[in-house]
Each structure stands twice: as structure tokens, then as C-alpha cells.
Structure 1
Amino acid sequence: MCTSFKLKSHIFDNSKGDQLLVDHLTGVAEIALNTTKYNGVINNELEEVIKTIGLCHDFGKASSYFQEYLQGRYHGELKQHGEISAYFTYYMLPASWKILGFICVKRHHGNIDIDNSFFNTDNEKNLKDISEDIRKNIDELQSIYNKNLGDFFDKMKDGSLIKEVKLSYIKRALVVKKKSIKEQEEEFMWLQYLWSLLLTGDKTQLITGNTFKNKGILTDEFTGNYKNKLRKDLINKVPDIEKSPLFSIRDDIYNNTIDSISNIDLDKDRIMSINVPTGTGKTISVYGAAFRLSERLIDEKKIIPNIIYNIPFMSVIDQNYDVLEEIINLSKMDVTSDLILKHHSMSPIEYKDSEEKEYRNYDARFLVDNWQSTVITTTFVQLFNTMFKSGLNSIMHRFHKLAGSIIILDEVQAIPPKYYHIIEDLFNILCDKFNCYVITVTATKPLFLQGKELVKDNDVIFSKMNRIVFENHTENMLNLDDFKEIVVKDIEENKNKSFLIILNTVKSTLGVFGFLKEELSGTRKVIYLSTEIIPAVRLKIIKEIKNSKEKYVLVSTQLIEAGVDLDFDIVYRDIAPMDCINQSAGRANRNGVNGKGIVKIYRLIGESGKTFASYVYAGPLLEATLKILDDREKFEENELWEINNKYFSKLREVTKNKSLQDYKEYCEEIKALRLQNIRKLELIEENKNKIDVIIRYNSESEDCIKIIENSENYEEQEVVNAWRILNKYRIAVNKNDVIDMVHEIKGSNFLNKEDYDKDRGIIRRNTTCI
């Protein structure tokens, strides 16, 4: 029997010293096990499974080949440890978990691509040689696993275990045919969860040595104090706001939401909704709901949940995070990375915990990407990557964060209808099996993830709204030149009104912007926004308009629609799906103190006679919208409840066949666990005609380029953050417009400042933009 442990898992170059294999294995198992306990996802069988996977994942490091490799004395292929560890994990697990455990461990380094060859060994002789070599350390291993392992080594030597693994996958294909799609989806979710726990345990054990635990300090008192501050500030800024019905409606919505959360059944009410008009304080209400729900889960379930706030658009995420930061600051709490975290492609890699420990380079990057924080503010893309980028090690390590969490889907209507069935299936499993709660937030509630409505009598609230009147001019199509004349005349006749013109393509916005800029020169300030304006400038423009009392004329693409807290008197909107029109209307007379805002809807065509909308939106969405608007020359905000319900009913009807086809294809991939195909699902479909270009805009961008060019180590925190800062200067453009203008640095496309206009975007030599 072994009396001391000698096998090592890691050798460090710093003062940490070497790590024993037994310490790493038990540490990984403990972190994985504690993580799932904190999530509230645990039972006796699952506890044993997670512990076994953690303890077995690096079993192969017990070979003399790997031990010599650690010392720098062996570099042959027999040092590999993942495959033999997978066979050992399979051997140790209960029958129903063997296949999943094998998959997780075989690819705990690298990505998972499952085909028929995955369950075959690449080199059976090598595998047997490694196994026989490990047998020499059987005493130490039997002490670690408290089990006689002779049978395992015998089965590896005669090849019977290798054959058993191969046959088990074939048998699985027969068994899975008898399972329902829900059972197949659950297996898929358990695979991702177990793999995520292993990846997180493996990396966290080396970085912090401890299980991350959420902070149970958030209460709805935080949001209540912030709401009261906003009230006072708004009264000071807009004294007449107290007379507006909207003022009391916002209070009613917040109080109603908190009351509802206080009374929900925590075991049954796992999907909830806040469906109220735009500009009625949804952000504060949903944070209040999440904090109150967190309090209840701590008190009643002894679970401290994390809160994942998801937003569809990058243009809004900083605004949302700023609100969260203000809520925390107002409550005299320190803003640390383990309390709140902003995660998107432009957020810097910085991680400092509440004990003032700052992590650097790979460690910081992992902790940020792993969402080791209590409240995470992120995008829909990051959330759905976490769910659907199956088999990608660099993303899926955070899947476990969805378990035991409160997931907020703000502007849920932005999810493409063809994904409704798929997403609803997986969210139902997250709620049923992984102790998750979902709160959707929208002014235009789609017909999925319906859940329990937290704002009682919200139809009555919609009926009370009278801030906006809609003018429908879509009966006939209108060319852009005629539209320009209509708009400029309206602006000249309303000198004391602010205008927002939202169009569907870059070409149409540039045409209208150029015309208005010239026609209104010296009389009105005309500003342009589109995805071709670099993000750094977009944010400045939005802040400038928000903080000024000047009556601007803003020409923008649809990026301005959802969540951007701007207020205009008159809004023009080229035809779009009804939910987008509704969001555009949310930029009109938000506070309801300037009489009535006006939203004018047109159907614009280009020189080819084709509508600009058809380049951007799917035909069925536009078809459903035009049918809803068909007999309405004018309508008011208080009719939106009825209109929205009719729209989504019509939408479900016209998209049903396509949605079912996509769903069936997805189910087939799930059945075979073809993770490499499942991860092809894209929430935002790639436009193959576009490329990303980084503008060499100012000294900050040039400094970042120098850092990147002068470094060979991509993992250095300074280099990673340089790339992330450059995302503030990154735009997507038609490749033919810039093909002769861009140059490449470290695999990315760059454009010189001389080829970029800060007010209009790309200075094109050849125009193909739509």
C-alpha cells in the first residue's frame, strides 16, 4: 500500500512549487462538486458522477512518460494522457453516465467533434503500452481511488474495454431512437454541463484553487434607492414630468413587479415576463425583480444565484452596465469583478476580486470568460454561444453558469422566430433540470417563453399610454428623392421639434443625411449614425444627444431602435417588422410631456424598384406587418397591445413551416450528438458579402497596433486588451467597397484614417453598399 504520494500533475516555474497529482485530482473534483452544489443541481447519483469525472480526468498523468515529460526529458507521443483517462473514467462511472463521461474526459483539452471515429482509439498499441506503464504505479493510484484497479488494467491489456467503449456508442444509437426529443435534448444538456464543470474545475484549481461562490448581498432595496434617485433627478430636469400619467405608471410597474416576485411559487413559476410599453422603466423593474428573487432563493432554497442580464445589441450594453454600476455605488458597495462583470467583445480583460487580488494574462481572461461574477451583463450572442457553441472548449467552460441562475432576456422579441422552438426547448430544460429562472422583458411579447406575467393588468397599462400617434403611409411605395422632400419640408415647418429618421440600409441613410445636411446647413444640427460609424464614436453621439437640450435631426439605421435612451418629437421609420416599428416608437416622446410624439411609417424603394426593407428583413416578417397595418391610416399608442398580439399570431402562421424544418434538422443533430453541427446555429447570420475592418482612427488605435505588432505572445493581457480596444474601431462593410483600400496586420483588416469620414463612415471609391 502506498504511504506517500510522488506522482505530479504540474511543475511550475514560479514560487508555487510542484503540484502532486492527487492534489490536482481531488481539487478539481471538489471545485466541480461544490459548483454544482451552489447551483442547487445535485442528487446522490449526480454527486458521484461529477466527483468521479473530476478524479479520473488526469489519470493518464500517472505514466512514467508523462512524469518524464514534466521534467523535460521525454517528448514522444506516449506522454498523451487524455485518451487513457477517458477509458478509465468510462470504467469507473455508472452505466448510464459512461458515454458522457468518456466524451468529457477525452476532450478536456481541445474541442469535441463527435463522429464514428471518436469512440475508436487512434493507436491501440500505444494505449495499451501507456496503460501497462501506469500499472507500475498501481499502489499510489489505488490509494487515490480507494479501489482495486487490477481489473481495469487487465481489461485494457486484453482490449476488452476498448471494444466495450466502441460497442457502447453503437448501442447508444439504437437506444436513442426510442427516446423522445426531450430526453435527447436533456442528454445533450447534461453533456455540456458535465464538460463545463470539468473544464472549470481543471482551470480554476490552477488559477485560484477555490470554487467561485456568488455574493448574497443584492436586495431590491438597492434598486428601490436608485429608482427614487432617478425620480428626483428627472423632476429637476423635467418639472412637468410629475403631471404625466407615465410618472405614476413607472412606479406602478416597479411595485407590481416586486410584489409579484414576492408571491411566485419558486418551484413552479420559473419562466416569467415583464411585458410593458417602451420607456416605462423596464430595466430598473427587472433588476429589482432579479434582486428580490435572489433574496428569496437565498432564504428559501439556500442557493445564491448568479444573475445573467442579456441584451441583443452592443450599442446598449454599456448603458445597461452603467445603470448596474450606479445601483451598486449608490448602495455604498465596492464594484469588483466578482460582484458585477461586463462581458462582450470590446470589454477589457480585467479581473480584481473583493480581496483586492488582481489577476493577469490567461488567468484574468479565463475568469472573465468563465463569468466568475455574481451579476453578468452580456449580449444575446454571448448567451446563445454559451448554449449552442457545443464542443468549443473556449466557450463551453462557462455553460454551468446557466444552472442555478436568473437569466434576463431584455428585448426578447429580437430573437429570430425560426429559433423559437429550439430555444424554448432548451430553456425549459434549464428550468426543469438545472434550477434556472428566466425573466423576459419586452414591449412586444412574442409567442414563446410566455411564462407568468409579473405586471398584473399590463393590458390596462398599454391602454393608458397616449404619448404617440402613428401615421401609416405604407399603402404606396415611395422613392428616396420624394421622401427627402417630405422630410425636409416637415423639419423646416417644425423648427422647435427634434427629428429621428430611421432607415433600413447604409445607402438610404447616407442619401438622406447628405441631402438634409446640405438643405439645412446652418439652421439645424444634422447627425448620422449607422454600423459604419465606429462604436467609439456612436457612443459619444448618443451621449451628446441625450445630455443636450438642442433639437437635433438624427439620421440612423435601425441600431438606434432598442434600449437606447433617446427622446425625439417626430420619428420617421422605413417599413420594418412590427416589433421593430414599436421599438422605433420608443424613441418618440419617451417621458410623455411634450404633447404627442409622432411616428410616420413609409415604404421606401431604391432605384431598382426594390424596397430597402427587403435587403434587411425576411419577407414573412414584412408580410405580416403590412397585413396588420393594411387598414390603419392612423393609430395611437394605446392600440399597440392589440396590434402586437395580432402581429405575432400572424407571424407564427407565416413562419410555421420554416421553423419546423429548422427544428427537425436541429433534432437530428442532437440525436447523434454531432456537436460540430449544432454549433453552426447563428443567432445573427453572417453576411458573406461583408468583412470586418478596423479603422486607424486616432492615437489610441495606433498605440494598440504597436503593442500587437511588437508582441509574439497573444495570451499576454496587454495584447488581448489591445485587440479588444481595437473593437471600438471595428466596423463591418461590403468587401467590394474596400477591397483595394485595406491592409492586413496579424490577420486582421485595417483601413487608414484618410479613407474614413468621422461623420459618414467609409469614403468609398467603388460603391456597392445597399
Structure 2
Amino acid sequence: MRKLYSYKLESHSGVSLIQHLKFVGNRCYKLINNKNINFTYDKKTIKYIAKVMGYCHDLGKGTKYFQEYLKNSEEYLNNNSSDLKSHAHLSAIFAYFNLKDYDKNLAIIIYMAVVSHHGRLKNFKDYMYIEKLERKKLLKQYDVLDEEIKIICNELNLHCLSKEEFKDTIDEIEEEIDEYNDNLDENNDFEIYILVRYLFSILIYADKEHAIFRKENNIEYDLPVTLIDDYKLKKFGPPKEDNFREIVYKDVINNISKSDDRIMSITLPTGSGKTYACMSAALKLKDKINNDMKIIYCLPFTSVIDQNYKDYKSAIREIKQVDEVKSADILKHHYLSANNYKDEKLYYEGEEGRFLTHNWNSQIVVTTFIQLFNSLFSNRNSDLIKFNTLSNAVILLDEVQSIPYKYWKIINMLCKEIVNILNVYFIFITATQPLIFNKDEVKELASKSDYYFKQCKRTKMIHIQEKIDKDEFFQFVDNIINEKIDKNILITVNTVKLSQELFEYINDNKDDEDLRELIYLSTSIIPKTRLERIEKIKDKNTKSIVISTQMVEAGVDIDMDVVIRDIAPLDSINQSAGRSNREDRGEYLGEVYIVKIKNNNKLMSKYVYKDDILLQATENVLKGKEIIYEEDYKDISELYFKELNKNKSDTRSNELQNNIYELEFEEVSKLFKLIEDQNKVQLFIEVDENASQVWNKYLDYLKIEDNFEKKDKLESIKGDFYKYVISIFKNKCKENMENDMGFVSKYQLENAYDENFGYKTKEEASLIF
């Protein structure tokens, strides 16, 4: 009888290397086996190479350098200035060798994935050359591989390279990658790009899952297909057949049941029940196709996510009849959300909670556009780890008009490839559908969309044709306030300075008998105060006059009677109009005035909206129109997007397209930014005692040296911490910046922070106070 071998090499403290490699290889295989992928390579091939990738990915941990480091990391790091403990490159060479005779091109892709699995995906050409010093290090590492590696390779049915094979393979990799790079000049689709990201994501997911949990974390897909139907019945009672929302809802559900399309849209007016309709459609679609499908619901703004997440969570709680909804049923993920994960019996936080939350380990995920698109375009490990979870998913993109037009073409191309390769279904949801897709490329689920818009008669836009200067604008606002003494009024302008001056003007001139509360909103005010003011505006017992910058468009759910909006891109104007008569108190009771404020004959909007195409398209569709009724908003929006489509530049999309073809992952990541870099800094404002306590916790966080402990500390405070943080343009900030976070202490408040207007920039401090 053969004596059992006692493995001594470890991958992590207390975990044998053979155990880790087996888990990761087998897990990579299973993750792919459970998905309906459709690459040019057959699924059997993809599963096999993924398993070999997992088996090989940490073989380099078998060096004496890594094992010494594992036993006493602090002492090792203090006594060694080299990076001889690194293992990814050594492992990648083993992976390449074991796959090159199976398929050389796939062997190169696996080599890239394994080399990079502790970092980012680089541009393909950066993998081409192995420097002399790196070669020397690799050979030195090979020489100190433990003999147990041969036994492990034998156990995993891998070939263990001799030293000559190892040296020859280094040369071969350089030659093959060079040749592959030349061939990329002829590449004209996204499949290789998707395949590299998919395999890389599978590897880092399985690797981290075992390192953190030592077990698989699988989801049971058990949400009922009738979840939303049942919840609506319980919450609102039996629907009336002539109810507008119910008619819309049935139309969408009827069409999803008949659709075989993978790219769909729901184009409906604000307030017609899109939130329930799209989720119910997704549940019915996945039930029709495959119960084991994740629903990923994306919104552009974190401010909207919380409310929709609460609605869906309430539905699950009510229909499942549970006190606590599991994170495996629904979770929320954005940069401010807590990374805590609740199971039936367990509560995960820290590293475990982060892994499960960031990797969307749930049946329904409510997240942001940024999180989704980062997984598609970023090269960062932390963004790519969840890319594999997009496979077998229904992805809902709400308020899709907020996607910048310069990305329309690339999103169109990538979505059309991903839907088939990764078995994905997209539903684009909006009241103003941008021309990301041609009509023959997308299936509209609201089949009577035009009719539904014609039924909406809540608001009308009153377009003031002539440009007016600041003084004329102030007088115009004053007249509206005095004429409409019993109305809630929202005035939105494009610059902080003008909003502050307007507030002071109204405050000085408002009639003493006018009991409406004057409220100011802008991003210069800390989020805590902003939320308090928004709640006051929403209070039906309070009448208010609200002065705001365009921040009020970002999903702020308030219902006003009159809106006055300085000219802006039409989709922004539509967002402002959506704040008027939201509850449909009567025909055209919501009045939306569009004005054009000038400064020395230049529109003030041009100081904020630098892209002249957006404003010009708006001017073109509004020209000559004095009153536009809500029933015509859809027609105007379609004209606006046609104008944009006609005059827009595809330069950015074309650059991204070429970089994707050439596997320039780093360049793609740099080029795709939903929010462009604005050279802003963050400031913490110590406005109250609670802020002082939170700031002290932040200072404790900065002192922590251990990275994992540091992350855990930040997770525990960030919910409270960011209630006191604002973003300011760097050139307008007076404070000294340390650790990427400025600090305004309670002793500086008088000179730095105003009770009404928030932070005083350099100019504002002298201009207004």
C-alpha cells in the first residue's frame, strides 16, 4: 500500500498549497460550467484552460523565499530588500507551458491573467518583454522551488518544467506574445477583450474566495416570479383596469413575455411606475429563460439608489414574510454603502463583507452606473473581480439618458457583443431615450410609449425667448414669487455664485407676509444638512421657495408647483421639469420657466456646460417655441437626441474601440470616465459634536498600519464620515490638504463655512460676507 504524502508547502498561513490550488482550479471550472457562455472557443475548452489556470496560479509560492516570508513575514521583509517572495510570474510560466500545446493563443491569455492576478491588467504589449533583471530573478526563484512542487504537479496532472524547459519557455513567451501582438492589428471584434477579462475575473474571484472563506459562496435563486405583482396587490389593493400605471405595467409585462430580444428599452414618462415595471419584467424574463440569473439594477446617482433599494427590499420582506431580508436576496453597492453582508445565521463584515458585497453575491443588486461600467472598462483588480458575475444577468439601466454621448458608440458595440457571449440581457429605462441604439437594434417594451406620453398633462414649459441679464432675471423671479403667493417654487441656476446672490436678493425683498420658507441647496453644503433641507421641502405642511444649483436634478425627489430653470442641456431641463407637479394635482398646473441668463452677452450656462454641442442642440429644438406641453416632451427629446447624434463626435468611442481591439487595458481604463476628472479636493467640515467624534475616528484610521485592519476601520465609519464631506475645486480651496482630505475645524467655521450657503471659497468669502 502506497504511503500517503504529507504536504508541507503552504499558500496562506495554515492552508496547504495543494489544497488552495485544487480549490481555485476546480472553482474556476465550476464558475464557468454554471454559465451559458458562448465564445468562439467551445465551453469545454474554456473550462479546461480555466482549471489549469487555477491549478497553476500559485505554484510559484513553492519557493523557499515565499515559504520563509509566510512563516515570519515581518522579519523576512525587514531583512530582504528584493521581491524574491513574488510568485505570479513564476506561476504564469508554468501555466503557459502546460497549455501551449493545447492552444498557444489561449496559453498567452492565461499567462497574462496569472502574471497580473495580484494587480491590474496591463496593456498587452507590456507583457511582451521580460527584462534581464526579471529573468535573473525568475531563474533564482526556480532554483529554490521545493521538491514538493513536482508532487503537486503530478497530483494535478500538470507537467513540472525542467530548468532547460523553464529557460526556453521564457524565450518562447516573448516570441509568441510579439507575434500575437502583430496579429492584433487585424483584430476587429471585442471577443478577445471580453475573454481576457472573463478569465482574469474568474481567477481572482476564486483565488480571493478561498483565501477569505475557504469555501464556495453560492446563491440560491428563489425569489418568486410574481414578487412585484404580489407586493403591489398587498400595498395598493386590487388594481383598477383603467388605472394609468396598471395599463403601462401590463403592457411592459406582456411584451417581455413575448420578446426574444437581448437589448430592450422601457421609455415611459416620469411617474408612470417604471421602478416596479422594470423589476417585474426582469423577474419574468429570468424565469422564462433560466432561474439562476442575477438582476443588476443600475442608476446614475447614489441619491436615488437608497429609495429604490428600500422599495424592492420591502417587497421581498413582505412577500417572503421575513423580519430580516438576506443580502443574498438583495444588496446595495456604491462607494458610500456599508459593506456588511447578512445571511440567515451569519453576519459578515470587514474583508468577508467586502468580498460578498463588491462581488454582487445576491439575486438582486442595486448599484451605480459607475460600478457597472468600471467592470466593463476599468483595468483595476477590484473592478474586474465582479466582471464574471455579469454572465447570466439581466441588467437594468435606469435614467440611461445620463450616459455622455461620446460613449454611445462604444457602449452600443460592447453591449451587442456581450449579450451573446456572456448571456446578458439589457433593459434601458428612461423618459428620454438617447440614441445609443438604432430602433431596429432595441425592442421597446412599452409598445404604446407615444400614447402614454400624450396622456401626461401635468406640466408645461414656458420658454422665455430673449436673453436677460442678472438684474432682469432677479426682477423676473421676484414677479413670479409675488404673483404665485401660494405656490411652492424651485429656482435652479447654473453657478454657485449666482444662486447665493439670488438667495440674498429674495431674502431681502420677500414680503413679510409671505410665510413660505426660503431654502438653499447646493453641493457646497454638507450632505447631512442637504438631506435635512430636502426633507423639509418634501413636508406637505411646509410651503417653500427653493434656490438651487443643478444638484437638485440628481434624483432629488421633491414636488414643486413652479420651476424656473436657467438654460441647460435638454435632458437637464427635463429633470428639472420632473420636479414640478409630480403628483398630478391637475392639468398643466406645473409651470416650468426656461430662461437664458447672460453676462456681458455670454450665456452663464456656458461657464458650466463647456460642451457647446449640448447647449446648441437644446437651442435648436427650443427655437421659436414659446410653450411646450408635457404631452410633447417626448417629441422634443427625440429631436434633441437626433441633433446630438448628427453633430456629436465619436472620437472618444473610436479611440476606445481601437484600444479594445489591441488589448490596451490600461489605455481603455484611462479613456473611459463617466465622470471626468475635475481637479476637486474633499473637505471634512466639523459642524457639530458628532462631526468631531467622527473626525477623531478618522484620525485613528490614519494611524493604522495593517491594510486589512485599515480598510475595516474605514468601512465602520464611512457612512457617518461622508455626511460631513464636500467636494471643492482645488483652485478655490483655502485649506491645506493632507492625506487627500482637507479639514475645516469648528474654530474655523466663522471664516470658512456659512450656515445658509455652506463652504466659502476664496472668492465667496470676500464677495458675499
Indicate whether the TM-score tops 0.5: yes
1:86 to 92, 98, 101: 92
The 3 A distance-change label for structure 1 pair 435 and 560 is same
1:537-548 equivalences under 5 Å are 537-548=529-540
Note if contact 1:218-1:295 (Cα within 8 Å) is conserved in structure 2: no
1:448 to 436, 441, 466: 436
Equivalents in 1 of 2:493, 2:232: separation in Å?
34
**Which residue of structure 2 lines up, in the alignment, with residue 118 of structure 1?**
127
The 3 A distance-change label for structure 1 pair 27 and 115 is closer
Equivalents in 1 of 2:755, 2:389: separation in Å?
40
1:205-604 equivalences under 5 Å are 205-228=210-233, 231=236, 248-265=243-260, 269-297=261-289, 301=290, 303-331=291-319, 332-333=321-322, 334-354=324-344, 356-390=345-379, 392-449=380-437, 451-473=442-464, 475-520=465-510, 522=512, 523=514, 524-596=516-588, 597-604=590-597
Note if contact 2:494-2:604 (Cα within 8 Å) is conserved in structure 1: no
The alpha-carbon deviation at position 293 of structure 1 amounts to: 2.0
SS at match of 2:676: coil
Equivalents in 2 of 1:758, 1:119: separation in Å?
58
1:21 to 13, 17, 25: 17
What code does the residue aligned with 1:90 have?
Y
Please tell me whether residue 54 in structure 1 is matched to residue 57 in structure 2. no
Note if contact 2:492-2:549 (Cα within 8 Å) is conserved in structure 1: yes
What code does the residue aligned with 1:276 have?
L
**Which residue of structure 2 lines up, in the alignment, with residue 239 of structure 1?**
none
- Alpha-carbon deviations, 1:112-138, whole Å to 9, x = none? 333645333342233123224337335
The 3 A distance-change label for structure 1 pair 480 and 220 is farther
SS at match of 1:439: strand
The 3 A distance-change label for structure 1 pair 459 and 610 is closer
Equivalents in 2 of 1:481, 1:217: separation in Å?
61
What code does the residue aligned with 1:620 have?
I
Equivalents in 2 of 1:702, 1:215: separation in Å?
43
The 3 A distance-change label for structure 1 pair 747 and 463 is closer
Equivalents in 2 of 1:164, 1:424: separation in Å?
38
The 3 A distance-change label for structure 1 pair 232 and 487 is farther
Equivalents in 2 of 1:619, 1:10: separation in Å?
56
1:644-663 equivalences under 5 Å are 644-655=637-648, 658-659=649-650, 661-663=651-653
**Which residue of structure 2 lines up, in the alignment, with residue 36 of structure 1?**
32
Please, which runs of 5 or more residues in structure 1 have no aligned partner? 13-17, 236-241
SS at match of 1:733: strand
SS at match of 2:186: coil
Moved more, 607-616 or 190-199: 607-616
The alpha-carbon deviation at position 329 of structure 1 amounts to: 2.1
Moved more, 326-335 or 631-640: 326-335
**Which residue of structure 2 lines up, in the alignment, with residue 691 of structure 1?**
681
Provide TM-score, normalisation by structure 1.
0.90
Please tell me whether residue 178 in structure 1 is matched to residue 186 in structure 2. yes
- Alpha-carbon deviations, 1:118-161, whole Å to 9, x = none? 33334223312322433733541233322443xx325444x221
What code does the residue aligned with 2:144 have?
D
SS at match of 2:217: coil
The alpha-carbon deviation at position 575 of structure 1 amounts to: 0.9
What code does the residue aligned with 2:545 have?
V
SS at match of 2:145: helix
SS at match of 1:679: helix
- Alpha-carbon deviations, 1:706-763, whole Å to 9, x = none? 1222243353323333245322222222334332xx2445441122341223431113
Note if contact 1:39-1:305 (Cα within 8 Å) is conserved in structure 2: no
1:732 to 713, 727, 731: 727
Note if contact 1:403-1:434 (Cα within 8 Å) is conserved in structure 2: yes
Percent of pairs identical after alignment? 31
Q: RMSD of the alignment, in Å?
A: 2.5
Equivalents in 2 of 1:747, 1:687: separation in Å?
15
The alpha-carbon deviation at position 48 of structure 1 amounts to: 0.6
Equivalents in 1 of 2:468, 2:76: separation in Å?
74
Note if contact 1:696-1:751 (Cα within 8 Å) is conserved in structure 2: yes
The 3 A distance-change label for structure 1 pair 289 and 5 is farther
**Which residue of structure 1 lines up, in the alignment, with residue 5 of structure 2?**
4
Note if contact 1:5-1:20 (Cα within 8 Å) is conserved in structure 2: no
Note if contact 1:576-1:617 (Cα within 8 Å) is conserved in structure 2: no
Equivalents in 2 of 1:8, 1:40: separation in Å?
36
SS at match of 2:214: coil
Equivalents in 2 of 1:258, 1:86: separation in Å?
49
Equivalents in 2 of 1:229, 1:512: separation in Å?
46
The 3 A distance-change label for structure 1 pair 350 and 455 is same
- Alpha-carbon deviations, 1:486-525, whole Å to 9, x = none? 1122122212211111222212222222222332265211
**Which residue of structure 2 lines up, in the alignment, with residue 96 of structure 1?**
105
SS at match of 1:766: helix
Equivalents in 2 of 1:460, 1:2: separation in Å?
78
Equivalents in 2 of 1:404, 1:155: separation in Å?
44
1:628-647 equivalences under 5 Å are 628-647=621-640
Please tell me whether residue 762 in structure 1 is matched to residue 759 in structure 2. yes
What code does the residue aligned with 1:96 have?
N
Note if contact 1:112-1:675 (Cα within 8 Å) is conserved in structure 2: yes
The 3 A distance-change label for structure 1 pair 423 and 231 is same
Equivalents in 1 of 2:500, 2:234: separation in Å?
40
The 3 A distance-change label for structure 1 pair 705 and 221 is same
What code does the residue aligned with 2:9 have?
K
Note if contact 1:525-1:553 (Cα within 8 Å) is conserved in structure 2: yes
- Alpha-carbon deviations, 1:42-90, whole Å to 9, x = none? 7101111211111110011222332333223866543321111011111
The 3 A distance-change label for structure 1 pair 743 and 81 is same
What code does the residue aligned with 1:47 have?
K
Note if contact 2:7-2:148 (Cα within 8 Å) is conserved in structure 1: no
- Alpha-carbon deviations, 1:147-197, whole Å to 9, x = none? 443xx325444x2211111011110122112221x2xx2211211111111
Provide TM-score, normalisation by structure 2.
0.90
Equivalents in 2 of 1:592, 1:190: separation in Å?
49
What code does the residue aligned with 1:516 have?
I
